[in-house]
Amino acid sequence: MARTEIKIGGFGGQGVILSGYIVGRAASIYDHQHATMIQAFGPEARGSACSSQIVVSPEAIAYPYLTAPQIMIVMSQEAYTKFTPELAPGGILITEEELVVPHNLRPDVKHFSIPATRIAEELGRRMVLNIVMMGFLAAITDIVAPEAMRQAVKASVPKGTEELNLNAFDRGYEYGVRLKGKAV
């Protein structure tokens, strides 16, 4: 697998930065790859656009900035509008189904969506929608081994919330596996 660029976008408070951290941790600590992460916030912390940009590679990473992400996760309409033009040709776009309405989607883009917020609410905590998205990412792509991602989730979330977050990851992963099975 070559260098893979991933961009995660949403608004402050959705766990965008934590999601990037989890992907990087999963790749570098639990999946024996190299990873870098850069984060960006809007002028306000909560409610404004933010993103995390991750590079994952089997080899050392000399340039940590994205040129054209092959994988993009967007959890807000603003992130969709702002970031999707950057998606590489043939890239994978993952959206939060109920918060993002895709429009003017290029025909070369492979688009997958999940009602992550609804799934998180079913688990009792809307805040875990980002972890649902991480499970979905693990199922849809092969960027990081699912068990590595699971270990990174467990090690990265606040103490006492591990079970809830692992359930959120598993629900997103199962949804992705079912969706991918239908597409085959």
- Predicted pLDDT of residue 37: 95
Q: Which two tokens stand for residue 38?
A: 């850069």
- Across 138-143, average pLDDT: 94
- Condensed to tens digits (0 to 9), the pLDDT of residues 107-130 reads 999 999 999 999 999 999 999 999
Q: Rounded to two decimals, what is the model's pTM?
A: 0.93
**Residue pair 109/87 in contact by the 8 Å Cβ criterion:** yes
Q: Label residue 31 exposed, middle or buried (CB < 10 Å: 0-12, 13-18, 19+).
A: buried
The CATH number of 4-183 is: 3.40.920.10
- Condensed to tens digits (0 to 9), the pLDDT of residues 79-108 reads 999 999 999 999 999 999 999 999 989 999
- Predicted pLDDT of residue 180: 84
- Condensed to tens digits (0 to 9), the pLDDT of residues 24-51 reads 999 999 999 999 999 887 654 556 778 9
Domain ranges of the chain: 4-183
- Predicted pLDDT of residue 29: 97
Q: Is 65 left (phi over 0), alpha (psi -120 to 50) or beta?
A: beta
Signed CA dihedral, 47, 82, 156, 116: sign only: positive
